[in-house]
Amino acid sequence: MKVLNKLLPVLGLSLCLGAPAVTAQEAQSEAPLPLESLRTFTEVFERIKAAYVEPVEDQTLLENAIKGMLGGLDPHSAYLDPHAFKDLQVNTSGEFGGLGIEVGMEDGFVRVVAPIDDTPAQRAGIQPGDMIIKLDDQAVQGMGLMDAVKLMRGKPGTDITLTIMREGETQPIEIVVTRAVIKVASVKGRLLNGDYGYLRISQFQSHTGADVRKTIADLAEQTDLQGLVLDLRNNPGGVLQAAVEVSDAFLDQDALIVYTEGRLKQAELRYSAAEEDLTGGLPLVVLINAGSASASEIVAGALQDHQRAIIMGTPSFGKGSVQTVLPLNNERALKLTTARYYTPEGRSIQAEGIVPDIRVDPSKVTRVEPAHQRVKEANLQGHLSNGNAKEAAVEEAAPAASEEEQEILQADYQLNEALNLLKGLVIFSQGRAGGG
């Protein structure tokens, strides 16, 4: 009991013995702490202090206890020491050091949610779903997530060897990744086939919403946009407000985007579109895959529920929980799961993800050249003329894609299918409008 009395003030706890009667709701949060469990805790504390092979400071034991308490809740709650807290703040601003991957814990190993575009991890071939089992010579099992992240970070230019298990592979794979200062351009845009816009969001940062609006405006200045492909594949998420702002760009004012529910009243929030659809209702196809998580799923879910876009690809990751960063003393913080996300129609994203309207798996397509040139009517001698004196126009077609564009579409089957679908939507809408 002596050690218990000593530790309680340090941990900021009280036993609440003999507390006055409270309501059922208050009892859940103010119930007396389990005295027997606290005795067990202090006994373990004493045994470690007395018998561990090397001396351990009280501060180290207490911090490890806090890490274990948070780590035992779910894969996304964590205790942030000053270094980890600073890294988290830097990550949301778009520039940080490391490998460029979003990770979580699963079965004691580090699971890759997604590599971030144009980072060392992506260039080295790290894939969503990879399980990291070793970092250099250190086994990951039993290591806390923040400790693993700390090992992956380091001086730019230095190498780290990731030993991974990958689905479909029978043996572990070793991949050497060179650390770098990660500067993430969260939004990229380009034109496809002349009149179709392509927007790629690699991560949701504080400025992503504004960047999306600017990119759409830039594309609209170059051509009369007919439709857009929004690519959220391998986007591990990020800032919630950025996801709301991106959704707002494609939805009409007051349309519900996402809401959250948790035990605390302040965890129950609703986010709706503040402005009209920036694109005026242009046809929209959204690409997702297993690496699309959190904020990506909020955007895809909102656009799907409002039937504003067709979602294409493979089912998303399924991270539908809200983490709140609660600052503590001494530059430390808790990253604590406080609520769940729900789509406008009340679907929970957690552990389910977003199911695409049209499933398209990554594939490689080989073009088959015809064995010989087929003869057409126009090749027959003495064929009748068109009758409208526009025979030359028969050979006219849509603007040919550039060589670079052809390579992009040939290498990315899902994007090619999204573009084909987008063209079909445009043709259908134009035909319907023309037919009254």
Instruction: Evaluate whether 274 touches 246 at the Cβ level (below 8 Å).
Output: no
What span, in angstroms and rounded, lies between the C-alpha atoms of 9 and 358? 57
What span, in angstroms and rounded, lies between the C-alpha atoms of 56 and 62? 10
What span, in angstroms and rounded, lies between the C-alpha atoms of 365 and 358? 18
Q: Based on DSSP, count helices (H) and strands (E) in the chain, helices before strands.
A: 12, 19
Degrees, nearest 5: CA angle 361-366-367: 125
The residue type found at 355 is: V
What span, in angstroms and rounded, lies between the C-alpha atoms of 247 and 253? 11
Instruction: Evaluate whether 232 touches 288 at the Cβ level (below 8 Å).
Output: yes
**Bridge partners of 180?**
98
Query: Strand runs (DSSP E) across 66-146, as ranges?
Result: 78-80, 95-98, 101-106, 109-115, 131-135, 138-139
Instruction: Tell me the catalytic residues.
Output: 294, 305, 319
Pairing type for strands 256-261 and 227-231 reads unpaired
Distance spanning both ends of the chain, measured CA to CA = 84
**Bridge partners of 271?**
258
